[in-house]
Amino acid sequence: MIKGFIFDLDGVITDTAELHFEAWKTLADENGWDFDREINDQLRGISRLDSMQVILDHNGISLDEIAKADLANQKNEIYVKSLDEMTPADYLPGAKELLTHLRTEGFAVALGSSSKNAEKVLMQLNARAYFDVIGDGHSVTQSKPAPDIFLFAAEKLNLQPSECLVFEDAERGVDAAKIGGFHSVGIGPKDRVGHADLRFDTMEQATLFEVKAHFKELFS
Ligand code: B16
Ligand code: MG
C-alpha cells in the first residue's frame, strides 16, 4: 500500500533550474569556461560539487579539492542571492494543489532533494508545512543516483520504500528511486524520465486522481 510521497524539489515543486543555470553561467563567464544549456541539463539532480566536476571535466580543467570547493561556494553565493526573489507564486503549476490534496487525504509527505538550500527554497515558497520530513543535501553524503536520500526520507517517515511514491524530474533521480525499491513518478520528457513507473510531462498533469488510477492496486 502507498502511505507516503517523497518529492524531489528542483524541477518538481519549483523550477530553480533556471536560477542554477544563471549562477553557473556567471561563474563560467568570470573564469572563461565553456558552459551552455546542454551541460546544464547534465547537472539536474546532482550535488553542487559533482556539478562543479562535470563543468571542469567538460573544460578539461583539473583542480585540487580546495580550489574546487571555493569555486562551488562562489556559485552558491550567486544562487542563494537569486533565491531572495522567489515567492509563493513560484510553485510549478499543479505542485501546490497536489501537496494540499495529500495533506487533506492524510498521506505522509517528505522532501528528497540533493540541494543544501532546500530549507531556504521551501521558506521562500511558504511550503514547509506540507512536509513531515525534510531530506536534503545535508541529510546524506552520497547523492543521486545513490538511493540514500530517499531511504533517509522513508526511514524518517517510518515507511518501507515499497510504501512510498517518489516524484522526480531527473534521470539519475528516477535511477535512485528504482535502486532503492521505491515506486516512481517521472516529471518530464520520455528520454529523461521514461524509465519511471509512471510519467507525466508536467506536474499539472500529476493529480492524485491520475496517480491513484495508475497505481490502483497500491491504494485501498
Ligand atoms: P545546491 P533536486 C538539485 O536539487 C538540483 O537539481 C541540482 O541542479 C543541484 O546541483 C543540486 O540540487 C544541489 O543544489 O547547490 O542548492 O546544494 O533536484 O535534488 O531537488
Ligand atoms: Mg530535480
Q: What is the CATH number of the domain that holds 25?
A: 1.10.150.240
Helix H or strand E encompassing 148: helix 148-156
Helix H or strand E encompassing 127: none
| Per-residue model confidence as pLDDT tens for the chain (220 residues) | 999 999 999 999 999 988 999 999 999 999 999 999 999 989 988 899 999 999 999 999 999 999 999 999 999 999 999 999 999 999 999 999 999 999 999 999 999 999 999 999 999 999 999 999 999 999 999 989 999 999 999 999 999 999 999 999 999 999 999 999 999 999 999 999 999 999 999 999 999 999 999 999 999 7
Nearest CA residue ID for atom 15, ligand 1: 48
Residues 64 and 153 occupy one common structural domain: no
Residues 58 and 132 occupy one common structural domain: no
Q: Catalytic residue at 8?
A: yes
Taking the centre of ligand 2 as the mean of its atom positions, its distance from the CA of residue 10, in whole angstroms, is 4
- Look up the domain containing 50 and give its range: 17-83
Domain final residue, candidates 83, 104, 124: 83
Residues 107 and 149 occupy one common structural domain: yes
Out of 8, 39, 48, 166, mutate this one to test ligand 1's pocket (max ligand atoms within 8 Å of CB): namely: 48
pLDDT tens digit sequence for 119-159: 999 999 999 999 999 999 999 999 899 999 999 999 999 99
Domain final residue, candidates 83, 104, 121: 83
Taking a C-beta distance cutoff of 8 angstroms, is the pair 162, 181 a contact?
yes
| Catalytic-role residue among 8, 136, 148, 169 | 8
